[in-house]
Amino acid sequence: MLEHVEIDDPTPGPGQLLVRVGAAGINFIDTYLRAGRYPSQPPYVPGSEGAGVVVGVGSDVDTDRVGTRVAWCEAPGSYAELVTVPAARAVPVPESVDDPTAASVLLQGLTAHYLLDGSAHPTGPTDGNAGDAILVHAGAGGVGLVLTQLAAARGIRVITTVSTDAKAELSRSAGAETVLRYGPDIAEQVRDLTGGAGVRVTYDGVGADTFEQSLAATATRGTVVLFGAASGPVPPFDLQRLNGLGSLSVTRPTLADFIREPREFIWRTREIMDAVASGALTIRVDHRYRLTEAARAHTDLEARRTAGSLVLEPASAAGRDQK
Ligand SMILES: NC(=O)c1ccc[n+]([C@@H]2O[C@H](COP(=O)([O-])OP(=O)(O)OC[C@H]3O[C@@H](n4cnc5c(N)ncnc54)[C@H](OP(=O)(O)O)[C@@H]3O)[C@@H](O)[C@H]2O)c1
């Protein structure tokens, strides 16, 4: 159960900032943790992502940081008015980027970034190749829209799946060349669209409902990147099947392993934040809820009523035309 309660203000420890939250990002993983699909120890304050203003620092942190705006994606307890954030993982927010956008961009943006440049490496004409095709499930979701934009910007052909006409329109506007509806013939349609070859990489954050289609839609020596389970976990899988499927690779990556090293974190973060600040990357935050409405936001996300990114806004972050 997710409910709004009053608790004591947190105190920043060594290496930490105390931040007044302007907006907290909502991600699908928050629902897995709440529902017990990933290990968690209730009671706890959910969320890990957000943006806001630094109002205090731990004993060993430069006091110049007070008053600056930062974004983060690794601070447990971010569905709150105040949160402590590791100073080394708090990213300065450009003036042109508002709190809801900054609060939504890191977790989904860094994920899309490592999916393209880390877990697999599809290439486009700008890399000197003819251009690969990729398949992105849930193309109108938070990660899906960012991944589509980043890939299309490189000239990679993006095929997506979505559940509604409105989501299809969004996915197309992000740069998807072809948008498909879920169904038993996804792989067949993907083969038709790729001259029978299949896609170089399939990105599957949907899981149980799509995994078999993902395998069947992927080209010989291609890669299936299983990165989530919005429809439920994929059942145990016999690796022996991969030889009959065209020597496919299957990987199950997680963001933490692609931003652990400070240099990699800074590189990926700069690319994503700069792309947002320059307008090269658009983050759609169409779903803005009050902090007290966190339970409703989770219900909407799990019921597939959302597209793009979702945020929670504390009452103190005033002046919003909230959903
Ligand atoms: N491994 C990592 O490093 C990492 C990091 C971040 C996120 N993720 C994963 O990436 C995926 C996307 O995350 P997100 O936060 O951007 O969420 P999201 O894509 O905005 O929301 C999930 C979407 O999945 C689709 N979906 C298909 N079947 C579904 C079902 N049975 N129930 C619910 N949704 C279903 C829905 O789109 P349609 O209605 O169009 O089907 C829904 O909007 C999640 O699986 C998440 O866990 C993984």
The residue nearest atom 36 of ligand 1, judged by CA position, is 304
CB 157 within 8 A of CB 125: no
Q: Do domains 16-110+259-313 and 130-252 have the same CATH topology?
A: no
CATH code for the structural domain at 16-110+259-313: 3.90.180.10
Q: How confident is the model at residue 321 (pLDDT cuts 50, 70, 90)?
A: very low
CB 130 within 8 A of CB 200: no
- For residue 171, the CA-to-ligand 1 centroid distance in Å is 14
Q: What is the DSSP letter of 12?
A: -
Determine the pLDDT at residue 319: 55
- For residue 307, the CA-to-ligand 1 centroid distance in Å is 10
> Considering the chain, what is the average pLDDT of its residues?
95
Percent of the chain predicted with pLDDT > 70: 97
Helices 294-302 and 28-35: angle between axes, nearest 10 degrees: 100
Instruction: Give residue-wise pLDDT tens across range 33-53.
Output: 999 999 999 999 999 999 999
Looking at domain 130-252, its CATH superfamily turns out to be: NAD(P)-binding Rossmann-like Domain (3.40.50.720)
The residue nearest atom 28 of ligand 1, judged by CA position, is 231
The stretch 230-247 carries a mean pLDDT of 96
At CB < 8 A and 24+ separation, what contacts does 192-198 make? Answer: 193/133, 193/159, 194/133, 194/219, 198/222, 198/246
CB 148 within 8 A of CB 163: no
The stretch 125-149 carries a mean pLDDT of 89
The residue nearest atom 32 of ligand 1, judged by CA position, is 231
Whole-structure pTM value: 0.97
| Cis before 43 (ω within 30) | yes
Give the span between the Cα atoms of 285 and 146, in whole angstroms. 12
- For residue 299, the CA-to-ligand 1 centroid distance in Å is 13
List the beta bridge partners of residue 51.
23, 71
Q: Where are the domains of the chain?
A: 16-110+259-313, 130-252
**Is 227 near ligand 1, meaning CB less than 6 Å away?**
yes
Determine the pLDDT at residue 127: 65
- For residue 174, the CA-to-ligand 1 centroid distance in Å is 17
**Is 276 near ligand 1, meaning CB less than 6 Å away?**
no
Determine the pLDDT at residue 323: 43
